[in-house]
Structure 1
Amino acid sequence: MAVLWLVSLLVLPTFLLGVFVWAVFEHFLTADVPAALQHPAKFRFLHCIFLYAVTLGTIFEKLGICSMPKFVRFLHDRMARKKDRKLVVTNLRFGTIPVRLFQPKAASSSPRRGIIFYHGGGGIFGSLDCYHNVCSFLAQETDSVLLLVGYRKLPDYHFPVISRDCLSASIHFLRGLETYGVDPRRVVVCGESLGGGLGAFITQTLVGRSDLPSIRAQVLIYPVVQLINLQLPSFQQNQYVPFLSRKFMVTNICTCMSIDLSWQDAILNGAFIPPDAWRKYRKWLSSDNIPERFKGRGHQPRFPGPFNEAAYLEAKCILDVENSPLITDDKTIAQLPEAFLVSCENDILRDDTLLYKKRLEDQGVRVTWYHVEDGFHGSLILFDMEPFSFPCSQKIVNAVVSYIKGI
């Protein structure tokens, strides 16, 4: 028995060290760290840790111990949560949907602004605990009541559960604004990454609902607003930039939408898009809509590829407005509330923001655009994680706070 314990004590550290060394090698072999990023050594270290966690999770999943998403979320949730001395924080459930409510403790002579926040993570990562500090900061700094939606996610739930959870939780909150002390004229939808896309979809879905208060503004932080054209300039320029590579994003798309991974190449090159559909959406999704200054790093349009009907039958859900809110009709777009859009230069989703900005502006919707030259995907959540925060993280959260305070 003692021998077994001794062997275990030797094998386990060797295994963990081996996995970490492999993660470091993978980073240096595949990752591209743009010169514009500040603190590149810190950035590389964080990406190695990210790869380490994902790799361990994948190994545990193959061994039948725990799924990779649950393992990584478990690690994320161990991050330090700051005490909310100025807030009352309440965990609730709207039916089957877990949510977290942040309410300022100080008395207010009038109803407060409301924020509905949808977190990022691609339907794989992210949680109420992971985004607690961000939401706490937003609620305190803007003196708002904030609802953080903990939608159900992989591996147990796929689309459309994720978007339907967010929509149901939002409607439930909007119907009870008086209970939470929220001014129905000042409700802001806010989301990051996938959560930004969810915010765009929900804002569109609620347009014209006479039975609910209208959304006052939408704050979308490097949002996923289309999954159709993955050959935009930013997808090519930043395809190897952590923390969202193009390969990882395509894998997430397939996993979340229950598409067989063998169709990844067809999704990447657009072979799943019927010619008549591309003729309809090209005016919104073409790289021609991207300003020239963002095309300066060797972009060569080559989209879409030859149509593959089998790929279309497998992946046609990508063409649903629910998954690609950028392609909704002009009538809906024209009725949307004003928007605050955040984009990061070193992010494959940069051009999603630029395309959505153009769509909104073309239909007369007021847009405030904030572009972060040294920003990267996922930087928001690092804003207070000393010593691993970045200047761009603080810039984004400060810009969001400043905009919301003006509502």
Structure 2
Amino acid sequence: MPKFFQFIQDALSVKRNHKVVVTDLHFEEVPVRLFQPEAISSSPRKGIIFFHGGGGVIGSLDCYHGLCSFLARETDSVLLAVGYRKLPDHLYPTGIQDCKNASIHFLKSLKAFGVDPSRVVICGESIGGTVAAIISQTLLGREDLPRIRAQILIYPALQTINFQLPSHLQNQNVPFLTREFMSTCITRYFSIDISWKDAILTGAHIPRDTWMKYRESFNSDNIPQRFRSKIEQPEFPGPFNKSAYLKTKHLLDTELSPLLADNEVIAQLPEALLVSIQWDVLRDDVLLYKKRLEDHGIPVTWYNIEDGFHGCMILFDKKIFCFPCSWNIINAILSFMKGI
């Protein structure tokens, strides 16, 4: 089924080049696509490393071709799109490792691509935003690499621990990312038997000492009052299930949850553009990450799209299927990039 949807998605994609030169390459055996403005520049350009969305199941270089081409032209940037490997053939940590390897390769080759090392931005949408946040943290302190100038996270998932946040309960049946589909992608990607899904959603897989360590990061008081649900919050985490913990404990790895990074890591991160969607299960991940960044003095530009839905950005050039929210996100990115 994932391969079928990927086929349909790619077949319906229209490759618009928007006056950019497009080159298909491989970095460390990872397929990538380079978008460079046709116009000659007298100085090195900004660089964007882009990771597409799709839940680790769908999405591709072809599907996001038009978006990447448009962003490269409109921001006058050299954009690298990474075609990381996905489900069902490739499980964790393959996709993240692909993105990391391609990013490092690009960062070590900036001069060859005419990119200013002081103006490189990491950008991602949905699960691509998750990867962008992870890599922004992972590459901190690498003296052999240029420092990332900024991160752009478009409705990302930023933790794999608490799935009882207000937005998860409010928006659990809102397309195109329902709570059911999200949890299915998580179990498949991390090779967890689907029978443990309910334990993950209720937090029964979380040992008490682990929860006590991280609960402050998930405190609903950190979410503005207007976003909190009138739905009664269930007790979280649920009664501890040791068997569930042993089968799912890799979900508690902080490397998979940028929201839970140590204070020392958060304090070193570059400025950020964060985009949340009002009617999205992942909205509160963004709100909590926003507070953590701001608490450590990291400049944050935040846009909450009131009339949007998860995945809407990719429809920006789909004519009758385009929504105002799609362009709102695009314009937010363009505005942010002007200051880079």
TM range (shorter): over 0.9
Is residue 2:74 matched to residue 1:141? yes
Moved more, 294-303 or 355-364: 294-303
1:383 to 316, 327, 331: 316
One-letter amino acid matched to 1:394: W
1:343 to 238, 259, 276: 276
C-alpha distance in structure 1 between counterparts of 2:235 and 2:66, whole Å:
42
Provide, for residues 326-348 of structure 1, a one-character-per-residue CA deviation record: whole Å limited to 9, x for no partner: 11111000000000000010100
What is the percentage of aligned positions where both structures have the same residue? 64
1:267 to 188, 200, 223: 200
2:296 to 355, 358, 363: 363
Is residue 2:162 matched to residue 1:229? yes
Partner of 1:202: 135
C-alpha distance in structure 2 between counterparts of 1:348 and 1:296, whole Å:
12
C-alpha distance in structure 1 between counterparts of 2:124 and 2:302, whole Å:
15
> Aligned runs of 1:80-95 on 2, under 5 Å?
80-95=13-28
Stretches of structure 1 lacking an aligned partner (at least 5 in a row):
1-67
Partner of 1:116: 49
8 Å CA contact retained: 2:154, 2:275: yes
CA shift for structure 1 position 272: 0.4
- Give the superposed CA RMSD: 1.0
Rg (Cα) greater in structure: 1
2:34 to 65, 88, 101: 101
Is the helix fraction higher in 1 or 2? 1
Moved more, 312-321 or 252-261: 312-321
Q: How many residues align?
A: 340
Is residue 2:236 matched to residue 1:303? yes
Moved more, 79-88 or 177-186: 79-88
Provide, for residues 270-328 of structure 1, a one-character-per-residue CA deviation record: whole Å limited to 9, x for no partner: 00011000000101023232111101442424211011111111111111123211111
For the residue of structure 1 that corresponds to 2:120, the secondary structure is strand
C-alpha distance in structure 2 between counterparts of 1:278 and 1:80, whole Å:
43
Please, what TM-score do these two structures have when normalized by structure 1? 0.82
Stretches of structure 2 lacking an aligned partner (at least 5 in a row):
none
CA shift for structure 1 position 404: 1.0
One-letter amino acid matched to 2:228: K
For the residue of structure 2 that corresponds to 1:226, the secondary structure is coil
Partner of 2:126: 193
C-alpha distance in structure 2 between counterparts of 1:214 and 1:155, whole Å:
34
8 Å CA contact retained: 2:75, 2:338: yes
C-alpha distance in structure 1 between counterparts of 2:23 and 2:209, whole Å:
49
Partner of 1:325: 258
8 Å CA contact retained: 1:233, 1:299: no
1:179 to 108, 112, 122: 112
8 Å CA contact retained: 1:113, 1:186: yes
Please, what TM-score do these two structures have when normalized by structure 2? 0.98
Provide, for residues 336-373 of structure 1, a one-character-per-residue CA deviation record: whole Å limited to 9, x for no partner: 00000000101000000001001111111111101110
C-alpha distance in structure 2 between counterparts of 1:383 and 1:182, whole Å:
27
8 Å CA contact retained: 2:18, 2:73: no
